Amino acid sequence: MKIFIKNFTLIITSVFLVMFSNNIYALANDGDDGFISISPEEIMKLYKEDEPKANEIFKDKTVKINGTVDGVSKNLYQIKINIKTLNNELIVCEVSSSDKKLSNINAGDDVSIEGVCKGKLGNNVYVTQCVIK
């Protein structure tokens, strides 16, 4: 019986690892359009589970994130759109003030944003050079 449980555990673990590896590969090779499309929850989950691996996949690469705006903040130097995850964590997206779609963005709006992922800092994932799609 102990051998069965060990073998069963080994098989389940192997299946999980293969599924997870294929998911990571699919994210890193998301078509020919030049960006990785991912939800706020999924990118945050990957960063929380294994930040070095997530950096290998996303850091300094163009990502497309679809989500709901939590808020828009502006200061002298930059404009940030915060996209909230289901766990109230934020994807912080820096947007150029010249983006014409920016004036129509409000908290609660669904948005699609493309930008360069800069990784996780504190509890947030930062995306720069963002364009609202």
Give yes or no: residues 61 and 119 share one domain: yes
Is the domain of 58 the same as that of 120? yes
- Please choose, from the candidates 42, 9, 48, the residue with its C-alpha nearest in 3D space to the C-alpha of residue 23: 42
pLDDT band at 1 (very low <50, low <70, confident <90, very high): low
Place of tokens 């709006």: 109
Res. 10: pLDDT tops 80: no
Residue 32, φ and ψ in degrees, nearest 5: -100, 5
> pLDDT tens-digit profile of 54-98?
999 999 999 999 999 999 998 877 789 999 888 888 999 999 888
The secondary structure element, H or E, covering residue 69 is strand 62-74
Q: Which helix (H) or strand (E) holds 58?
A: helix 51-58
Q: Are residues 23 and 82 in the same domain?
A: no
**Quick one: pLDDT at residue 99?**
84
Asked whether residue 2 falls in the same domain as residue 44, the answer is no
54 and 12, same domain (yes or no) = no
Cα 67 from Cα 41, distance rounded (Å): 9
Q: How many domains does the chain have?
A: 2
Residues 47 and 25 in one domain: no
